[in-house]
Homo-oligomer: A and B are copies of this chain.
Amino acid sequence: MEITIHDIAKQLNISASTVSRALKNNPIISESTRKRIKKTAEEMGYRPNVLAASFRTKKTNTIGVIVPLINRHFFSSVISGIEDIAYKNGFTVTISQSNDKVEKEAKIAQTLFANRVDGLILSLGMETKSFEHLKLFTDRKIPLILFDRVTDKIDAHKIIADDFGGAYQATKHLIENGARKIAHIGGPQTINIYKSRQEGFIAALNDAGLKTDKSLIFNGTMTRNDGIEALKTLRKNNKLPDAVFCANDTTALGIIIYLKEIGIKLPDEIAIVGFSNEPFSEVVTPSISTIKQPGFLMGQKAAELVISQINNKISDTNFKTITMPTQLIIRNSSKK
């Protein structure tokens, strides 16, 4: 049998409300009685029934998080950042993964909503194009933060990495190292991050006075094989570039493996830069130059934002998009 505030009250011959207030450090209760109450609560082994309190107050002190895949370095870094801040502020975090499936994303959102999370942080799945499941939150002013893969269709605070800037830097770096014919392995242009990266790539070419050659731009699903296929195509057409900027490290890896296989010298003949700083990119031979996104910081920021919204209760309609700086990490795949 669990001890309740009533048991403590009875023990001390006072009322349950006094006990409740004392345990919540309500300043209206006198120092002495509060101490007395806390002491006996401790002695009796009292454990507050969080469920009852949540039910009563309609606050769960829980933040929901939905990511496409936990098992990816960037996302798990973000989660760590969220956890860090949430934990310090007394919030519990519930993490789920959508596996990039809209239905699962929607189902999870509904479950989190039903479980009355105080706020939601999410990165959209690859296929997500309808946002009904998020209306659940926005309609009822439940704080919602989008990060990384975001959408214009939803009014919410958004946290993104500087994809454009990162891509721009990466491309500029390749140009400065002498590249003139640069290919780009990009993702679906319906997804903000890949769109921005491609735009950054093109902007850097333009600013350097290079013209963009559409036959050097590939848009696929960003698997290792997508990178390989793109290069195979280029080679078949006798259009091998002198550099490739990939919108993720996975395609860059594919390309490196393929080019090594066919005996092309990296980075001398073809220089390569990836994106995301996946753990493997440092240890491949040659190590992959890449763009580092501040995952942990993004998570921290997201958690701070959602918590401040939860606490202020101000239905903040002034939604902003926070862009966090990315960083070019130069490694052997592009070092001349």
Contact = CB atoms under 8 A, between A and B. Distances in A.
Given A97-B83, A279-B280, A285-B285, A48 B114 contact: yes
Interface stretch (A71-79, A178-186, A209-217, A225-233): A71-79
Given A51-B51, A55-B55, A283-B253, A92 B115 contact: yes
Interface residues of A, number: 39
Contacts of A96: 83, 92-93
Contacts of A285: 284-285
A262 interface: no
A52 interface: yes
Nearest to A74: B71
Interface in A52-68: 52, 54-55, 58, 60
B60 A51 contact: yes
A192 interface: no
Contact of A280 (B92, B97, B280): B280
Contact of A51 (B55, B77, B94): B55
Interface of A: 47-52, 54-55, 58, 60, 70-71, 73, 76-77, 79-80, 83, 87, 92-97, 104, 111, 113-116, 253, 257, 278-280, 283-285
Closest 10 CB pairs of A and B: A71-B76, A285-B285, A280-B280, A55-B55, A95-B95, A51-B55, A70-B76, A50-B114, A94-B94, A283-B284
10 contacts: A47-B114, A51-B58, A52-B55, A92-B115, A279-B280, A280-B280, A280-B283, A283-B283, A283-B284, A284-B285
